Amino acid sequence: MKKFTGLFIIISIFLFTTSFSQGTSEEDDRIRVIAIFAHPDDGDAKMGGTAALLAEMGYAVKFVSITNGDAGHHKEGGGMLAKRRRAEAAEAGRRLGIDEYKVLDNHDGELLPELHIRQQVIREIRSWNADIVLGLRPNDYHPDHRYAGVLVQDAAYMVVVPNVTPDTPPLRKNPVFLYMADGFQKPNPFSHDIVVGIDETFEKKVNAFDAHESQVYEWLPWVSGNLDKVPDDPEARKDFLRKGFIGRMTVSDEQRAGLEKWYGKEQAAKFRYAESFEICEYGKQPTEKEIRELFPMFRKN
C-alpha cells in the first residue's frame, strides 16, 4: 500500500508541474524571443541593447549560451570558472531586464555541431515557444561561434518536426530566425536587414557587460595586452568599458540606411548607437509588415 501511495504522490507532482508549465505558457501571450550563442557574454555584446528594449516593451526574452565559458580566462578554468561565469551571466540578464540567461553545460573552446547539442538547441527553442530565434552566422574567427551558428541553423525547421527530439513537443509554426551582426566579409558580408537604434538602452548594455567581470576586466584585456590599463575603481572601470564600446557601436553608414528604412529619416538621424540583424533564409520569411509587428519600436512609422 505504501508503494502505491508513493507512486500516487509522484504522479500527482508530475501532473501538477506539467499542467502548471502548460498553464503559464498558454496564458502568456507575449511575443517570445530567444537568442542562442556560444559564450556567456556574446548575446550581451551583439544585441544587449535590443534585448533590453524588447524586455522593456513587454516581450519574453531569453539568452542561452551553449558553452559554459570554462576556457575563457588566463588564470582560472574548469568548473570554478564555469560557476563564476554562470553567476555573471545571471547578473547580466538581471541588468538587461530579460526573463532568463541560461548557460548550458558544454565545454568552452571545444564546441562541435554534434547531434546531442543540436537536440539541446531544439529543446530550448521549443520550450520557449519562440516567435523569434537569434543566432550567430557560421562565418567567424572563433570555432565556438561558428558551430553555435551551425547548431541554430540546423535547428531551424527541425523545431516543427514531431519525430525529431520527441521528448519536447514541436512548435506548430516555424519561428523567424535572425543572425546577430559580425564584420566578417567571406564568404558573404553581413546584411543589415533590420537595424535597431539602442541609445535608450545603451547604459543597460554597458551595465550588463560590466557584470561579466572575469571577461571584460580580466580575460579580454589580458588577451589584448591591456590588463595594466584596467582601472580599479568600479565607476572608472565602467567608463573604460563604455569608451571601448562607443568606438565599436557608433552607427555605420550601412546601419544609417537601415535606421532610415525602419524609423524614417528624421528619427533615424537622432540615433548614435545601433544593433543590426540579418534575416536567415531557413526559418519563416517575414514580410516588412510582419517585421514591424515583431519589432514594436518600428510600429509608429
Enumerate binding residues for Zn ion (CB under 5 A): 38-39, 42
Q: Nearest approach, Cβ of 218 to Zn ion (angstroms)?
A: 15
Nearest residue to Zn ion, by Cβ distance, number only: 39
Pairing relationship of beta strands 32-37 and 132-135 according to DSSP bridges: parallel
Kindly state the smallest distance separating residue 44's Cβ from Zn ion, in Å: 10
At its nearest, how many Å lie between Zn ion and the CB of residue 222? 15
92/259 with CB nearer Zn ion? 92
* Residue closer to Zn ion (CB basis): 38 or 194: 38
CB 142 → Zn ion: shortest distance, Å? Answer: 6
Q: Cα–Cα distance between 23 and 73 in angstroms, integer?
A: 42
User: Hey, is 134 helix, strand or coil?
Assistant: strand
Considering the complex, state which of residue 42 and residue 99 has its C-beta at the smaller distance from Zn ion.
42
Quick one: which of 137, 142, 169, 165 has its CA closest to 153? 137
Do the beta carbons of residue 44 and residue 191 sit within 8 Å? no
Beta-bridge partners for 63? 35, 101
Q: Give the residue with the Cβ less far from Zn ion, 42 or 124.
A: 42
Which 3-state string (H, E, C) describes 228-268?
A: HHCCCCHHHHHHHHHHHHHHHHECCHHHHHHHHHHHCHHHH
Closest distance of CB 145 from Zn ion, Å: 6
Classify burial at 54, counting beta carbons within 10 Å of its beta carbon; exposed 0-12, middle 13-18, buried 19 or more. Answer: buried
Output 39 or 95, the one with its CB closest to Zn ion. 39
**Distance from C-alpha of 226 to C-alpha of 171, rounded to nearest angstrom:** 46
Nearest approach, Cβ of 102 to Zn ion (angstroms)? 16
Least distance to Zn ion from the beta carbon of 135, Å? 13
Place of cell 553545460: 105
H-type alpha helices, the chain? 2-27, 42-56, 78-96, 115-127, 143-155, 202-211, 213, 220-223, 234-249, 253-263, 265-268, 288-294
Contact 299, 231 (CB under 8 A): no
**Cβ distance to Zn ion smaller for residue 39 or 212:** 39
Q: Which is nearer to Zn ion, 57 or 90 (CB)?
A: 90
